[in-house]
Structure 1
Amino acid sequence: MAVNLRGVTTVLLPGTGSDDNYIYRAFAGALREAGAVLVTPAPRPERLVEGYRDALDDAARAGAIAVGGVSIGAAVATEWALRHPGQTVAVLAALPAWTGSPDTAPAAMAARHSAQLLREQGLDSATATMRASSPQWLADELARSWAGQWPALPDAMEEATRYVAPTCEALATLAVPMGVVAATDDPVHPIEVARQWVAAAPRAALRTVTLDAMGADPAVLGAACVAALQACDFGALRRGERDRGHRNR
C-alpha cells in the first residue's frame, strides 16, 4: 500500500542558508506527479525555527498535512510531526544533518564557521570565500539565498547550530511513514545520520543520490525522497505497534 498524497497539502522547509526557491525546484515535480499541493514557506532568518513551526501550524488549520524539508528543515518538520501525529500524513526528510544534539555535527560546525565569516567579513567577502570551497552549483544557490536573507543570516545560522533534532528514542514513536534521502558523498550531511533515522522510525525507507546529480538537476532530490516514502514498509508499523502492545501488558 503506497502513501496517498493526492490533494494533501505538503509543507517543505529549507535548510539553513537555503531558501524556498531551491526547495520548490527540488520537490515540485515529484509532488506534482503525486498529486500533492506543495507549500514552501520562505525562511525567516530572524526567527528561523519558530517561523518554520508557525508555517506548519498555519497549514494544518485546514486539515492534516504532509511535512518535510532539507537538513534542519527536515528536523523541524519531523519534530512537528512527532508533536502532531493526528495532523500529519507523512514526513519527507532530505539530508538530515544530525540526531539529537548538534554539538559535533559537521553541519552545525559548518554553520558556525559561516556565521563567523559573515560577521567578520561581511556578505560579499564571505560569499567569495564560500565559492572558493564549494561546487559551482552549490555556490550559485547559496550566493542567491544568502543575499536574500542578509543581514539576519548569521543569526539564523547560529540558531540552527543550537537546535536539538529528534533523538532515536523520539523517532521510534513516529506515527506516520517517513521517506529519507541522503547524498552518498555529502560530508556535511553524513549518510550515517539518515541511516540512524530510518533504523529508528517504525515505518521509514532510505533512498540515495549524489551531490553531482543534485547539481545537474535539483529535482532528483525530491524524486528520491518521494520514492523513499512510497517504499515504506506499512507492515513494519503494525508489527511495531503489536510489539509495543505486548511489552506494555
Structure 2
Amino acid sequence: MARRQYLGVAFDLRGVTAVLLPGTGSDDDYVTRAFAAPLRAAGARLVAPPPEPGRLIEGYLAALDGAAAKGPIAVGGVSIGAAVSLTWALGHPEHSVAVLAALPAWTGEPASSPAALAARYSAQQLREHGLAATTAQMRASSPPWLAEELTRSWRGQWPDLPDAMDEAAAYVAPSHAQLRRLTTPMGVVAAVDDTIHPLRVGREWAAAAPHAALRTITLDELGADPAALGAACLAALGEA
C-alpha cells in the first residue's frame, strides 16, 4: 500500500519514516529482514532500533520520540514491540500516520498470557542455568528457523536478557477501551498456528480499533521468508 484515503484525507507512506520495534528476545536484524523490503516497496524508510535489554521499554520509547521529532512517522513492531508502538501512537495521534502490529501477544494486563509466561520462564531459566543450557533447551522445543533466530539474538543481548524478558512480561498493553480510541489506521497480523501470540489477540486488536484490519499467516510462511510478516502488515493496513 502506497496511498490510501483515511477519514477523507489522503495519506502516503512514500517518504515516511517507519519505526519498527523487535519482539522480546529478538532484535533489529530480524525486524530489518521482515520489514525493510515491503516498506521500501511502499516508499517508506525503515528505522529498526536495536533493543537495549537493560532499558527495553525506555529505549523503545526514546527511539519513537527521536524519530517523531523530525515529523510524523509510522510505528509498529513484533509482539511487545507492537504493544509499545501502539501505546505510543495512542499518546501521539498527531505524530502517527499508521500502526503496523505484528503478532500481538495480549490485550491489557499480561496476566497469564502465553507470551508473558514464556518470557518469565525463560528469564528464570537463564538466571538459574545460564545462556548455553537455556538456549539448548529452547532449540529443542522450537522450529529450526526460530531456534536459529533466537540463538543469535539471545547471545547479542546477554547478560541483560533476563531483565528484558521480565520487563516485557510485565508490560501492560492497550486495553479494549484504549483500542477503541485509536484514530490512527492499523494493520494487524497474526499467525494462525502460533500458541505464544494467539490469533484471538490479533482479532481483538483489529475488531476493537475503529480503523484496523487483520491478515493471517502461518509460522511456516514466517520461517520461509521473514518479509512475509511485513508484507502482511502492509496488506492489512491497506484494508484498514
TM-score range, shorter chain: over 0.9
1:185-240: per-residue Cα shift (whole Å, max 9, x none)? 000000000000011100000001100110011110110001000111xxxxxxxx
How far apart in 2 are the matches of 1:168 and 1:174? 10
For 2:151, which of 143, 149, 157 is the aligned residue? 143
Say if 2:141 is the partner of 1:133: yes
AA aligned opposite 1:133? S
Runs of 4+ aligned residues of structure 1 deviating over 2 Å after TM superposition are none
The equivalent of 2:67 in structure 1 is 59
> Which residue number in structure 1 is paired with residue 39 of structure 2?
31
* Alpha-carbon distance between aligned partners in 2 of 1:129 and 1:192, rounded to the nearest angstrom: 28
CA distance in structure 2 between the partners assigned to 1:91 and 1:179 by the alignment: 6
Q: CA deviation at 1:171?
A: 0.6
| Deviation of the 1:175 alpha carbon | 1.0
| Alignment of structure 1 residues 91-110 onto 2, 5 Å | 91-110=99-118
What secondary structure is seen at the aligned counterpart in 1 of 2:174?
Answer: coil
5+ residue gaps in structure 2?
Answer: 5-10
1:180 corresponds in structure 2 to 188
Matching of residue 8 in structure 1 with residue 37 in structure 2: no
DSSP-derived class of the 1:6 partner: coil
Which residue, out of 142, 157, 166, partners 2:165?
157
Deviation of residue 147 (structure 1)? 0.2
RMSD: 0.7
Residue in structure 2 matching 1:220, options 206, 209, 228:
228
In structure 2, the residue matched to 1:45 is 53
Same amino acid, percent of matched pairs = 68
* CA distance, structure 1, for counterparts of residue 146 and residue 12 of structure 2: 32
For 1:227 and 1:199, how far apart are their aligned partners in 2?
16
Bigger radius of gyration among the two: 1
Partner AA of 1:230 in structure 2: G
The counterpart of 2:129, out of the listed 116, 121, 125, is: 121
Shift of 1:30: 0.6
Contact 2:36 2:45 in 1 (8 A): no
C-alpha distance in structure 1 between counterparts of 2:49 and 2:132, whole Å = 26
Aligned to 1:202: 210
2:34 alignment partner, SS class: helix
For residues 129-170 of structure 1, the C-alpha deviation after alignment (integer angstroms, 9 at most, x for no partner) is 000000000000000000000000000000011100000100
TM-score using structure 1 length? 0.92
Secondary structure at the counterpart of residue 76 of structure 2: strand
Shift of residue 4, structure 1, vs aligned partner: 1.9
Contact 2:26 2:149 in 1 (8 A): yes
Give SS of 1:104's match.
coil
Distance 2:105 2:156 in 1: 23
> What code does the residue aligned with 2:61 have?
R
- Please name the residue that 1:239 is paired with: none
SS state of the match for residue 12, structure 1?
strand
